[in-house]
Amino acid sequence: MSKQLFIYAFFMIGVSAQSQVFLPPTRLRCNLLLHTDKVSRNGISVNEKLASAVKRNDQFQFVTINTPQPVFDWEISAGIKQTSAYRILVASSEKMLALNQADFWDSKKVPAKINQSIYAGKPLQNQHVYYWKVQVWNEKDMPSSFSSIQSFFQNKPDSIGDISHSPLTFDIQKPNLVVKKDNGDYFLDFGKDAFSQLQLHINSEKNDSIWVEVAEALAAPTVLFITNGNVRYKKIALFVEKGKHDYTINWPPDAKRNSRTPVQMPDYIGEVFPFRYVTIHNFSGSITTGSVTRKMVYYPFNDNASSFVSSDTVLNKIWDLCKYSIKATSFTGHYLDGDRERVPYEGDALINQLSHYSVDAEYSMARRSMAYLIYHPTWPTEWSLQNVPLAWNDYLYTGDDSFLKTYYTELQQKILMPLSGDNGLISTRTNKQTKEFLQSIYITKAFDGKSDLRDIVDWPKEVAYIGTEKEYPGETDGYVFTTYNAVVNAFYYQNLKLMHKIALVLHKTGDAKLYQEKAEQVYQSFQQVFVDQTSHLIKDGDSTLHTSLHANMFALNFGLVPKEHITTVAGFIATRKIACSVYGAQFLLDALYDAGSSDYALSLLTAKTERSWYNMLRVGSTITMEAWDVKYKPNLDWNHAWGAAPANIIVRKLMGVEPINPGGDQIQIKPQLGSLRFATLKTTLLKGVVEVSYHKNKLNDQIVISIPGATTAKVCLAYNTLKPKLWVDGKELNIQPVDGFYIVPQVPSGKHVFVLK
């Protein structure tokens, strides 16, 4: 018997003794969206049937499914180790479906171990509501009852790139603190920054004009930070009538921002402004916590989908900061660069996507942003090369290949293969950016003053301030730009590897072979052109000896450092500290955890230096900032989610929860706690909730994991010479560590206890 079969049999012996609770499928999704039957009006959920609301779509908002073959997903109870089949019914009438009758699709019993299916019934008609439900069979071929009924509205797409999505929503919030100042002004603190509207419910003693100020920051206790810069502040006059009345502050248009074609707020919500603090001047009346409310606008977000707590209080605060940042910056339903521009950028979107997936099982916002960026690209070379990783992440986490199919041709262009030379490497400096090439990636007019691709490595590229924590100005660690750029080609190599995988998924074997061959050529050329043969470090370019953090961390992250040199490169990276921006920190931490440098990675996550997430908290921000500090980017936003990398790093790397197979029917759990004494995580994937609790004691380490139904986990636990024995669910498991980890494949769904002692 093989080792894997032995381990599987070990677990199944334990499973057979357990009582099987066979619940029907839950949390049904259509095109990855939950609650497609919900109806809202101007951001407020209302008790209105979907079939009624669609007849008055000028009054209500709801999900529109705009693909002819929707994808259906459902969750399986953790009591079910594996499913063997499913059956889906789709009908035009709820009453019909309640009788198990389906006039549009009865899939019959489909033998399959997955809990996802593509609609394959009669053609769905536009402007119609449909109803569906699903049942499954377990590994013993026993059927569940049918799920509850879900409905969805079918319609055709409105425009290119139109992705099914939920309407925006909002919370009405009262201030945490109201202070009447000595001069009669009122100061209010809502506790956190948020993109919001401000409402007053006040009783004035007379007709009068008052002044309302809002701000993200304070200059002193109860004193708003007044600035015309990107830390937001606004002062508005308001005429109030005598007596008790309600008022809503109307935020004026931002002419500078609107000149850059930002994503606009929908009319059913209206304009928002980011603020935490409010001051009211010249009001002749009394202000209480009920007198002023804030309407925080955001894309639907499940606060209970994730949680994290550890023995490090700083890390806990950073988790809270980053998780909240993902929710707070979702106010348009797209991933944006912050309030200054409200424009999607590929670099922002990648970090937003991974962090959003980590804190909430929501996938449509990423897809809307990905589709938008296909046709509205930005100019940095490295960011064009992030379209393919975005698309692959979507497929890996959802198992749905529809985005890959729809945009395959565009993704082929985004990898920038026409810029490659005889050595296989790409360059933006060899006169290959023709008009035809730029049109192929939809750069048809100047963006931000630039009409072609430019290498950036990190952002901002050049800033005069250096300070005691930096050797070079800007955020590129003194990177030397040459004809061939190591960072750009590291991204290019990653793109080729991913396009090889994508082509295989779509059964394009010829393309897959081409991309594999190109990737192999780039790997060999990278070693010859960029690797210093004496130090084995990565040089910035083909005609320089300078070795930066960026050249080395991107090469390490994307698999361009041979195994025998990983320790050397990781050691060099540790000497550079955080010499990158908050954007670059995503790739730095990914590289460190993948290289096994978990202690150093944790030290960066919890650092209290000026260049740290703790510094964002220290200066008073409650949403992650665009840069480490105003010194490093004078026009930084205080509401920029590309600074929220720890939200996904904690889940994916520190606690080690990532999907292995597309859709997550197999996941990896590989905690690397470093010096933490304990850490507990809850995260939600498409298949359901994953929980990991790790406690270290003198005599043993105990790791308790919970795996969703119909899901298996590859559990990897760091080998400890002081605690060399592994026990699983009360029985010793006699296996040898591999590369410093005990690897236990095919752990079935349910709760399991691992002990190292």
What the block records as the tokens of 507 is 């059964």
Residue 238 is predicted with a pLDDT of 97
Q: What is the pLDDT of residues 730-752, one digit of tens each?
A: 999 999 999 999 999 999 999 99
Whole-model pTM: value is 0.96
HEC-encoded secondary structure of 391-445: HHHHHHHHCCCHHHHHHHHHHHHHCCHHHECCCCCECCCCCCCCHHHHHHCCCCC
What number does CATH give the domain 21-154? Answer: 2.60.40.10
Please, what is the angle between helix 549-557 and helix 566-576, to 10°? 140
Query: How far apart are alpha carbons 399 and 392 in whole angstroms?
Result: 10
Distances (CA, A) of 120 to 69, 113, 230, 522: 7, 18, 50, 42
What's the rounded Cα separation, in Å, for the pair 492 and 420? 10
CATH code reported for the domain at 169-298: 2.60.120.260
| Inter-helix orientation angle 402-414/486-505, to 10° | 150
Q: Answer yes or no: are the C-beta atoms of 171 and 296 closer than 8 Å.
A: yes
Q: Enumerate the domain spans of the chain.
A: 21-154, 169-298, 303-654, 666-756
pLDDT tens digits, 325-375: 999 999 999 999 999 999 999 999 999 999 999 999 999 999 999 999 999
DSSP SS3 for 298: strand
Mean pLDDT by 10-residue block, N- to C-terminus, for the chain (757 residues)?
54 46 90 98 97 96 96 91 94 97 98 94 97 95 96 89 94 97 96 98 95 97 90 96 96 90 95 98 94 98 98 98 98 95 96 98 98 95 97 98 97 98 97 96 70 93 80 94 98 98 98 98 98 98 98 98 98 96 98 97 98 98 96 92 98 98 97 98 98 96 97 97 96 95 96 97
pLDDT for 16 equals 41
> What confidence score (pLDDT) does residue 261 get?
87
**Residue 680: its H or E element:** strand 678-685
Q: What is the pLDDT of residue 7?
A: 59
By the 8 A CB rule, do 403 and 395 touch?
yes
> 303-654: what fold?
Glycosyltransferase (1.50.10)
pLDDT for the residue 244: 96
Distance CA 275, CA 214 (A): 6
- State the CATH architecture for 666-756: Sandwich (2.60)
Cα separation values, 86 from 25, 93, 120, Å: 10, 21, 14
